Structure 1
Amino acid sequence: MSTVIIIGAQWGDEGKGKIVDFLTQKCDYVVRFQGGCNAGHTVVVDDKKYILHLIPSGILHKNKKCIIGNGVVLDPAALLKEIDTLNNKGIEIDNNLYIAKNCHLIMPYHIAIEEESEKNGKIGTTKKGIGPCYTDKIARNGVRMIDLLYPDILMNKIKVNLEIVNFLLVNFYNSKPLNEEHIFSQYLDYAEKLKYYISDTDIVINNAIDEGRNVLFEGAQGTLLDIDHGTYPYVTSSNTIAGGACTGTGVSPKKIDRIIGIVKAYTTRVGEGPFPTEIKDNLGETIRQKGGEYGATTGRPRRCGWLDLVGLKHAVRVNCFTGIAITKLDILNGIDKLKVCVGYKYTNRRIDEFPKELEILKHCEPIYEELPGWKEEIQGVKEFDQLPENAKAYLNFIEDFLKVKIQIISTGQKRDEIIIKEFPL
């Protein structure tokens, strides 16, 4: 039996979907534990591209149980659209999907409030209502999945929340109010379509672990976007680190065996916030185009930069990775010299730890080590020994610096374009 958590080690978009999809072949259950439809996991199977936002990537395998845990905030409209898309592509959903009773729902007023507050580009969110939904959850005003089955409770919650939201929309944002009857009717329709998926998922998962099943916990976003341990306030609204897998599913830390960090071979970031290793010349644009660095959810271009080992050292510490997977190594083909950030310069001193103060991070200059690149094409390479010597040296440098074994190396988008140095299950 093995329980494994998959965590993004940077600012998200590390290629977690492919790694989860690959590892699912050895798993029985795949569990999503935080975030919402602001996540976008892209998986390529037999030249077909699948983009998943809420449903765990394991759904692309037959007879795998996929669970949306209580730590997720769920937009019913987005989920139903995703289910329809997968059904139309011949993917079996009905017997393989479970949704936590205590999973919180994104409501139309969450999206409305976020759209208004983001008009000045304050944070650079996806405008999916994620933050306002988590706000209501913490303020104990949230609507949960189970409320869909109790119309009186649902209507009362909508009515109470709209009193505040409509006041803000009209008097603060000079916008139109929302209609409670319309929202109520809309969510009763969602209830009819989703009621068969609602379950005591904490019991399902713990029973599976106790029975010796392999369970994979799938994170969204990345460590540096964690609400507590990321570059606050330019973060997401949930705990993206390994600890979030436990609170987001109802599973004890004592039942977790391994934690795998997903690391892109360079660094990207979407939205606002400091990014010390960002490449602002033509090379950054070349990497963006070659790597297809555009958001799977919004299509926004990702900012591209050199690998930042200072940020990764922080990710290793707060997650305690037992291994890492390197993705998109093939995108670095043909670059003469590769830079790797091993420290920061701030004023007249060197910083070797990722600063929590945003004002310091904004003014940090990266200290780079330069490593020779490689010209050989490595896309699709499946054996470590077949990699160019300079590619091996690049990987060994990362491994030595972070003091964590590289277990998996992705050399392309497709499911089978992968090197397994050590199977992590």
Structure 2
Amino acid sequence: MSDLHTQYPVVVIGGGQAGLAVSAQLKAHGIEHVVLEKNTIAHSWKTQRWDAFCLVTPNWQCRLPGFPYAGSDPHGFMLRDEIVTYIEDFARHIDAPVREGVAVTRLRQSGHGFMLETTIGEIAAGSIVLAVSGYHVPKVLPFADRLDPSITQIHSSAYRNPDQLPPGEILVVGSGQSGCQIAEDLHLAGRKVHLAVGSAPRCPRFYRGRDAVDWLDDLGQYDLPVDKHSLKEGVRKNANHYLTGRDGGRDIDLRRFALEGMKLYGRLKDGRGTSLQLGDDLQVNLDNADRVYNGICRMIDEHIARNRIAAPVTPHYAPVWSPTAVPTELDLAASGISSIVWTTGFRSDWSWVDLPMFDGTGYPTHKRGITSIDGAYVVGLPWLYTWGSGRFVGIGRDAEFVADHIMERSNASHADAYRAGRRELSQDTAREAV
């Protein structure tokens, strides 16, 4: 089994920023552990991001434990390869005990701990931390396999650049962060883009003299616990706001893209061959995204007024374009569309976790990462505890909370063992006296 032991007090599964953050906190507590990564450190950043990808949050929010961003552009937005370097440098900084190329194929309870079946043998653990996010399997709409085979179809996780796609027009399905940014990437390259718009909200990039993220941080939005949010746990199902850090950061305005020639449609509902059926909800979806955008602006306005902050006045967003006679059917061949990019997210796959710790939707039941199974933890999920949980800004706090709980559990276990030993010694003494 190479240099791996067959037993550890703690096994962390996943070698991305979440697993490494947990490792840093466990090391701070002096807790022996190993991090198992089935691929390589920061694998998804290396392999599931397009060439022009960059963060949508400013670099100053990169705050892995004891390793904040130290570059010269705190208000810039790291590119894909810079993000990978940041995570790899963090792993070296903490000397993380990562074992790459070791996949966990089954996790089950065993005695008072857990047994991990891996690609190189079994490993026992007293506690386990699942730091594998919730984005496991690329998801496309169920009718994708009914579309004409002449249409090139790829998922956003496989998209790299416009030249990757064959000549012709391109349909991007989905308007979350990835969908809008990929649509922009193609649009800027001069490709003719069609975009099926969903219900994702949007956020201003800059407002009243600062990045909106700076204002939202001042307002405590990234520290708001899930149980204090108006939607409670329901917020975990919300799509992220779309905006971009590209070229120093800017809004993504789909209406402006439409003025520039991008074709916008409502939500994609069904399809067969080269014929697609679309919803009539484009206007509603655009209006709702703008409502969220201006709602964020109003929140910042109130904060500025309440605290008497000197800040330039910026008008709220006013639509620059509105749809008329939006089609509810689209013929791919007649429209010259040769490719579809599915930016429809991922689904979770916990099938290898043989523990009764999931709800009816397959989501791990937990409180701040402490699951319903004693000794089992999750880290790195969106809104695990706060809005910052799925981001570099909040992952360290979640990792610290989980590591503290593991330490307390370990101390309690040692205390129980000590008390049990004392009782056994007392009983032996009593028997000797008789």
Tell me the TM-score normalized by structure 1.
0.25
**Greater Rg over alpha carbons, structure:** 2
Tell me the TM-score normalized by structure 2.
0.25
